[in-house]
Structure formats: structure tokens, C-alpha cells
Amino acid sequence: MFFVDTIEVPGLGNRGYLAGGPRGAVAVDPPRDVDRLIAAAARRDVRITHVVETHLHNDYVTGGLELARLTGAAYLVPAGARVAFERVAVADGDRFDVDAGLVLRALATPGHTPHHTSYVLEEGGHAVAAFTGGSLLIGTVGRPDLVEPRLTGELARAQHASAHRLAAELPDDTAVLPTHGFGSFCSAGDATGEGTTVGQERAVNEALVKDVDTFVADLLAGLDDVPAYYAHMAPANAEGPAPVDLTPPAPADAEEIAARLAAGEWVVDLRNRVAFAAGHVAGSVNFEADGQLATYLAWLLPWGKPVTLLAESPQRIAEAQRELVRVGVDRPAAAAVGAPADWLREGEEPRSFPRARFADLAEAYGSGIVVLDVRRASERAQGHIAGSVHVPVHEIRDRLGEIPGGTVWVHCAGGMRAAIAASVLDAAGRDVVAVDDSFAAAGPAGLPMARITPAEAGERTGPGAEAVLLDVREPDEWAQGHAPGSVSFPLSALTAGGDLPVAARHRPLVVVCRSGVRSRDAVALLTARGLDAVDVVGGMRAWVREGLPSVREHGNGGPTA
């Protein structure tokens, strides 16, 4: 019987695997801290005979080369990946014996990278598992834009073809075991769920249920920001990563911490955001050890800048080291354990800032404060607080000068990224309040939203309501179906400087289009005129999906349901 053990790397949203039989095993896409794979093999009492890479990774430093060296395993890397070390160059169709009756078959699946290769584990000639790396994920695929911008469209089409190849060649009961998709920024969409099969993906995966043109258009439209440290990962993996050193960093006392801050180095407090806000070393920044530490610290940290770690215990420091080596932040300059009282020089006081909920922000809103939204652009597009300033957390360090003066109330989707941004602002001497709350509470708290859901739009513009639903699609689109009582005013007329229809004058405006793109442009123009306007997330598409009423113009000009 075969086995598959999953090696979770939750901070990066990835998984590695150890799979094999009674005596031999293969390690797939191992993280850099390879002791976990070695321990897993020891528990199974198997020898790692093969270490395989599905592709040259863009989001983490691989442990494959070191694991192969330590175990004497064959190191399998796709032939198309240009690397500076000896390896077994893998081509489509190559087969490798893992154990008696257990074979690993290479399947070329370009798309995430040009050379991407999946590996099918066959027991007795039957495919039992497919290690799909960044190809077929749970419900989605790996993003195609991490290699070279000019290749993105071509790779997106290759992703579609590769997904279809996997679905065509593998039985429905084959387990799909991707490397990315559990929070990884290598995923092109939201990958939800813990496990899946080829049959399940055939029914729901966006690459398998959409035609290629629709798939590519939707895929490219949904691509989000790429962590800055990704630029350093593929070159490190191509060169051949050095072994990791997880020995404890040199201890730092209060004088050294102050000296490192004065030198412009980063001092990172790993405690939870509640403890940090209550008291911390002035100038330090907060990245919770329990959050996506490696992703966000490596994203914001100037590459190569020394970093000193502060935590409650040596264990926390060791855990942080392990996470950081996975993204190439190899050796902390120093570390200190304890609490702020241990990290401050005699006579120094800890710095602090308040935390709040969206209900507190609603009370303070309009009193001259700055509301700073540090979510990604794709999140903000789904709805945001009217009048808020938008600087994604990963850009906060370089855009501090764009944030208006005054007390800054910082929010994200849940509190973790707001805490990071608040700490960076606090270190720069700004007065901050960290909103530690779910963004879903913002609207119910009474904060004015710049974008609203179709259901909220229906409530605001229903019979007897003060607001009017302004449809900015073109007349032919309007005639095909629109909300009852809505007023037609095409965006083309608005951009030409046209006057609002009489029915929409002197009333709050809720703006809708087909998908939510044109309505955002319309709101920008309307608010520039001094009008009260919000737009509907998802447009009429979302309106219809939610079962809200729609009418269309009949041939005689009258409406019909």
C-alpha cells in the first residue's frame, strides 16, 4: 500500500509531500527546512529515493537540493528549468521507480511556468495521486504572470490546456495534491478546501468549466499584487540554495537594540498585536509570529537589510527563524526575549497606541481624522469606506508621505495587516489608531460605504426610498434588462458633461453598470461634481445572481418582467 504525508507550510500557503511504499519514498516540492521531511521519512522507516521539483519556485526557497544531498536521493528537476547544479533533467513521460509496484510518471503541464511538470503516482499501473504543483489547484490554477510579463497571456492559455490534459488522462478518483493554493500568492484565485480529486475538479475548476478565451480573460483580470521578495526566489533556486542555519541568533541587550534602530535597521516585535499596541520599543515594527510572518515581513523589509527579532520566548524566535529562511531571510542580526521592559534602556518608556472597532471609527468619522485602508486593491474594489485613503500594506513603507496629516485610523479586513501598518506609521512618529475588527462590521456600524452590495442597493432605492438607482450602461444594454425604477444615464453622457435626468436630481445616487467597472468611474465623476454617490459591487450581473427583480423593454416600449 502506498502512503502520502502532507508537509504543511501554512505561513506561505503551500504544501510539500512525502509519498511512497514500505521501503522507498519521494519528496515533492520540499520547503527549505528539510529536517521536517527527514523526520517524516524516519517515522515511516523509509528511504527517500527521489526528490522532485514541479517547477522553479517563485515564492519560496526550495530545500530540494539540500535534501537530495543529505539523503543521496536523485534530484528530479524539469529539463526546461535553467539551473547551476547537477540534477536529473525530467522530460514529459519519464518514469521513476519509487518502490515495488510504485512508479512516478512525469507529465508536462506548462502554465505556471514554461517548464512546469506534474508527477503522477501510479500503484500497479493505476494513477492514485497527482502532484500538480502550481498547475491544477483546488478550484483554480497557479498564476501565469510570475515569469515574464510578455509570456503571461501565452502561459494562461497553457494553464487551460494543462488542466484539460490532467483531466483527460487521469481517472476521476485520482487525488489532486497541489503545492500552492492554501493562501499562497502563487494561486490565481481563491483555492478553498482541504482535498480534491480529478473528478471533483472536472465539475468545478474554473479551467475545466470555462472555454479558453473566457478562462484567460477572467484569469488575467483577477491577478493581484505579487510580493516583492518573489523577485529573489527563482534566482536563488536556480543558483542552488545554501544549507540553512537555524542556530540561535546573537542575543541583543537594550543598548544594542537602540543602536540598531539608530542605524536604520529593522527591529521586529513578534508578539501579538494587542500586546504590541499596549507597549513596545519606539521605532520597532510589529509582525505577529502567528500570522503570515514570512510573507509580509519579507514583502515589506528592504531586501538584505539586517533584522533583529523580539519575542516572549526563545521558542518564538526559533519558529520565526524557521519561517524566514523559507523566503531567504537567512540569519537575524540579533534577537532578544522577554518584554518591552527588558528591551528599553534605563529611563526610556514604552510607546503605545490605541486599538478600536469599526463602531468606534463610526463615532469619530468626519471629525478630521484620516481613514487608511491597507487592503489590496482587489479587496477594496469589493467595497470601501467613503473618503478613505488607500495604501496597501505592502506599499506603506514607501508611501508614508502620501498619507494626510492628522490621526490615522488604520483598517484592513480583519486586523492583522492594520497592526503591521499602524506599527510602521507609529515608528515614523504618526498618531495612529489600529482598527482590530472584521471589515464586514464597517457598514452595519454606520460608516458610509463607497461601494455596496446589490441587496443593500435594493434596500436603499426601493419604493419610497430617498436614493435613486442610476444605471450607467448604454441604452441597448438597459433595454435587455434593468432594475425596476432605475434611471438610465449612460456613462458616455456623463463623461460628455451631460445633466442628470430630472428623476435623479437632488437625490442620493446608487450607481450600477453591467459588472461594476463603469459604475466606479461614474461615481468618481459624480463625486467630483459634489454629488452623493455610491456604486454597486458586481453590477447588474450580481443583481440578477442574487435574485433581485429585473425588467426589460418590450417591443412596444413598455416594460416586461
Which of the residues 28, 513, 522, 537 is marked catalytic?
A: 513
Measured distance CA(251)–CA(411) in Å, rounded = 34
Residue the block writes with cell 502620501: 402
C-alpha cell at 303: 531586501
- How far is it, in rounded angstroms, from Cα 481 to Cα 513? 11
Q: For residue 253, what is the DSSP state?
A: -
CA atoms of 519 and 423, how far apart (whole Å): 35
Grid cell for residue 24:
522507498
In this structure, the number of other CB atoms found within 10 A of the CB of residue 257 comes to 23
User: Are 113 and 151 a contacting pair, CB within 8 Å?
Assistant: no
The three-state secondary structure class of 540 is helix
* Structure-derived torsion over alpha carbons of residues 249, 254, 259, 264, reported in degrees to the nearest 10: 70
**What spatial distance separates the first Cα and last Cα of the chain, rounded to whole Å?**
60
CA neighbor of 19 nearest in space, from 109, 134, 127: 127
CB 39 within 8 A of CB 31: no
CA pair distance 344, 252, nearest whole angstrom: 11
Q: What backbone phi and psi angles, to 5 degrees, belong to 455?
A: -60, -45
CA dist 271 and 284 (Å) reads: 12
Please report the sign of the dihedral spanned by the C-alpha atoms of residue 39, residue 41, residue 45, residue 47. negative
513 is catalytic: yes
Q: Do 3 and 27 contact (CB within 8 A), yes or no?
A: no
Nearest to 402 by CA among 364, 373, 443, 436: 373
Alpha helices, DSSP H, located in 195-292:
198-204, 206-209, 212-221, 230-239, 254-262, 273-278
Separation of alpha carbons 454 and 516, rounded Å = 11
How far apart are alpha carbons 335 and 347 in whole angstroms? 22
Residue type, 447: L
Report residue 204 as a C-alpha cell: 468545478
Reference 514, options 532, 490, 534; nearest CA is 490
Q: φ and ψ at 434, to 5 degrees?
A: -95, 120
- Pairwise CA distance, residues 76 & 74, whole Å: 6
Q: Which grid coordinates are listed for 87?
A: 540534477
Q: Take residue 278 and report the three cell numbers written for it.
A: 499596549
Grid coordinates of 173: 478518483
Rounded to 10°, the helix 314-325/293-300 angle is 70
The type of residue at 101 is: G
DSSP 8-state code for residue 150: G
Interior CA angle at 199 toward 198 and 202, to 5°? Answer: 85
- Any idea which residues carry the catalytic annotation? 513
